[in-house]
Amino acid sequence: MSLLRIRIDENGNWGEETANSKAAHAVGVKVLGSPWSPPPSWNTNGKNSGGHLLPQHYGDYVNWLRNASEHIGLDWVSIQNEPDFASWTNWTPTEIFNFMKNNAGGIGTPVVMPESFHFNDQVSDPVINDPTAESHFSILGGHIYGGGLSVHQNAINHGKHVWMTEHYIDNTQNSMANCLTIAKEISDCMNDQMNAYFWWWVYEASTTNLVTNTGSIFKNGYTIGQFAKWVRPGSVRVSTTYSPDPNVYVTAYKNNSGGVVIVAINTGTSGVSQQFTLSGGSGVNSFNIHRTSQSESMASVGSVKVDNNSFTYELNPQSVTTFHP
């Protein structure tokens, strides 16, 4: 784990998340805070859902976000979780643009926006296309409920990192079939030039948990770990033949020390003898290998030698395999 997303309570009940943020920072994890609503009295309907933030409170909201960020200890702050989803406080693209251009520069903490529930570029493009508004945010964030899993080229062209800040697939705790859907989704996000993936969520009484209340890890936690343990912050994704064989999906990364990490997914029911060829003078002589399958959980399964920048490995059926230094 390298990133934690927490909720900024609209009533200022920040004690629990302040403790979570402190614990995260103690182990080197950085924290994003997202509000589901401003203080309700600032909304058009006086409620924490269904209304819009009144323009006369935009300045108040800036001060509130700055105070929340300082109090909780945030590394990034979002202006709104899912502004285009009816259950929360709503923002039109014009409202987001006006706030980002005229107010957001005063927040102080780097801003993530707009966290559209289906990564709708129509919500963010007006901000990106305006030099002043664009200068007031750092990260393009969004969710992929029902859409948005694609390359967000306009943001990339403007030098912005792209984060997938919330999604889940249900009933994945111990179902390898569903865990393969997670692995393919993470791989798709990385192949679409995203820079981060946040799972909803780690622990509560639900079927999306990664761990039990005692810290034991479910199969979906190990599946995500096939990426998260070795593809660390500062790694750079490098190009691959993304699907070299039916049911096989491959992404690769260079880490800060120059090492290479490859994550290969086989969603099929048969093993695949897959050849990997490294180009560009990688200097890699061998890889260690860890694998998650129905019977394995990030299990160490030996190593493979690289000969003349190439190696062949049998990808077990319905498995996620990570090759790493």
Query: Which are the catalytic amino acids?
Result: 82, 166
What type of residue sits at position 54? Answer: L
Whole-angstrom Cα distance, residue 217 to residue 229?
14
Q: Are strands 76-78 and 272-277 parallel, antiparallel or unpaired?
A: unpaired
Whole-angstrom Cα distance, residue 135 to residue 202?
33
Query: Is the peptide bond between 114 and the residue preceding it cis, with omega within 30 degrees of 0?
Result: yes
Whole-angstrom Cα distance, residue 144 to residue 49?
21
Angle, in degrees to the nearest 10, between helices 93-102 and 121-128: 30
Site of tokens 């792209």: 162
Whole-angstrom Cα distance, residue 223 to residue 179?
6
DSSP SS3 for 243: coil
Cα 155 vs. chain centroid, distance in angstroms?
16
Whole-angstrom Cα distance, residue 267 to residue 175?
13
Q: Do residues 92 and 119 lie in contact, with contact meaning Cβ atoms separated by under 8 Å?
A: no
Whole-angstrom Cα distance, residue 23 to residue 199?
19
DSSP SS3 for 153: helix
